[in-house]
């Protein structure tokens, strides 16, 4: 895919300080409190602090994707591959969800109201094959991340195009980003371009740089 290749080349050029610092933290086990949280009892997972603003984290590029050139491919081990343009994406059932964000760099943000397409509605449309076990998210900036299919197949997972009633800003992954609230926010790919259904797991950008393969904030799965 041309865009993917461009993005990956770009990434090669920007192995900047931020990336290597986060990678060093992963290697050194920084930020770990060594306690386990209980989502039944607490709202804030261990080692997190609450913020009211919404920090922006990326790899140094924020792709600009006008609606006219929007395209979302959903393929791999599915019965019904889709390649959605903006009109087709917006024509899918509209869902609303409210969830908390927990970022591995220790900030959490409560009560984010998303509009978009529920993961479960997408799954119903593409019908994963029996062999499909994982999803690899590919983004326009060359970023990738992986999640187990049964973790994506949850009522709170959404492909969001709006936040707080407004179109999702470019810096936060607009036009469309993934939101998987049960995991640290690096699992929630911004500027999503492709959902690839696979049988064998494939660690993504941060997962190969020392981040945990799943990233449950309640277990403090920061690093692999």
- Footprint on this chain of ligand MTE (rule: CB under 6 A): 54-59, 103, 139, 141, 143, 172-173, 185-186, 188-191
- Binding partner of residue 117 among ligand MTE, Mo ion, none, CB under 5 to 8 Å per kind? none
Q: Is there a contact between 181 and 1 (Cβ–Cβ < 8 Å)?
A: no
Stretch that binds Mo ion, among 50-58, 80-88, 89-97, 109-117 (CB under 5 A): 50-58
Report which DSSP code applies to 29.
Answer: T
Indicate left, alpha or beta for 155 from its phi (over 0: left) and psi (-120 to 50: alpha). Answer: alpha
- Binding partner of residue 181 among Mo ion, ligand MTE, none, CB under 5 to 8 Å per kind? none
Closest CA to 180 of 210, 148, 208: 148
- Binding partner of residue 183 among Mo ion, ligand MTE, none, CB under 5 to 8 Å per kind? none
End-to-end Cα spacing for the chain: 30
What is the x/- site pattern for Mo ion, positions 177-206, by CB under 5 A? ---------x--------------------
- Binding partner of residue 179 among ligand MTE, Mo ion, none, CB under 5 to 8 Å per kind? none
C-beta neighbour count of 170 within 10 angstroms: 14
Query: Cβ of residue 194: shortest distance to ligand MTE, in angstroms?
Result: 11
Query: Cβ of residue 94: shortest distance to Mo ion, in angstroms?
Result: 28
Closest CA to 19 of 212, 213, 208, 215: 208
Query: Cβ of residue 22: shortest distance to Mo ion, in angstroms?
Result: 8
What is the x/- site pattern for Mo ion, positions 120-159, by CB under 5 A? ----------------------------------------
d(CA 109, CA 118): 21
Query: Cβ of residue 196: shortest distance to ligand MTE, in angstroms?
Result: 14
Residues within the interface to Mo ion (CB under 5 A): 57, 103-104, 186
């Amino acid at each position: 895919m041309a865009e993917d290749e461009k993005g990956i080349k770009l990434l090669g050029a920007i192995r900047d300080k931020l990336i290597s610092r986060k990678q060093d933290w992963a290697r050194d086990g920084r930020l770990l409190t060594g306690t386990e949280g209980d989502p039944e009892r607490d709202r804030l997972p261990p080692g997190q602090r609450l913020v009211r603003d919404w920090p922006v984290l990326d790899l140094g590029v924020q792709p600009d994707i006008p609606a006219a050139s929007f395209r979302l491919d959903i393929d791999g081990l599915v019965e019904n591959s889709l390649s959605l343009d903006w009109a087709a994406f917006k024509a899918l059932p509209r869902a609303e969800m409210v969830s908390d964000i927990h970022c591995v760099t220790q900030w959490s943000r409560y009560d984010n109201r998303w509009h978009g397409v529920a993961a479960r509605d997408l799954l119903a449309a593409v019908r994963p094959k029996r062999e499909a076990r994982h999803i690899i998210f590919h983004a326009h900036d060359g970023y990738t991340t992986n999640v187990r299919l049964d973790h994506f197949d949850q009522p709170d997972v959404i492909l969001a195009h709006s936040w707080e009633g407004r179109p999702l800003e470019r810096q936060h992954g607009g036009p469309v980003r993934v939101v998987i609230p049960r995991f640290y926010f690096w699992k929630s790919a911004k500027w999503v371009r492709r959902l690839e259904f696979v049988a064998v797991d494939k660690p993504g950008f941060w997962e190969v740089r020392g981040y945990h393969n799943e990233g449950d904030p309640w277990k403090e799965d920061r690093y692999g």
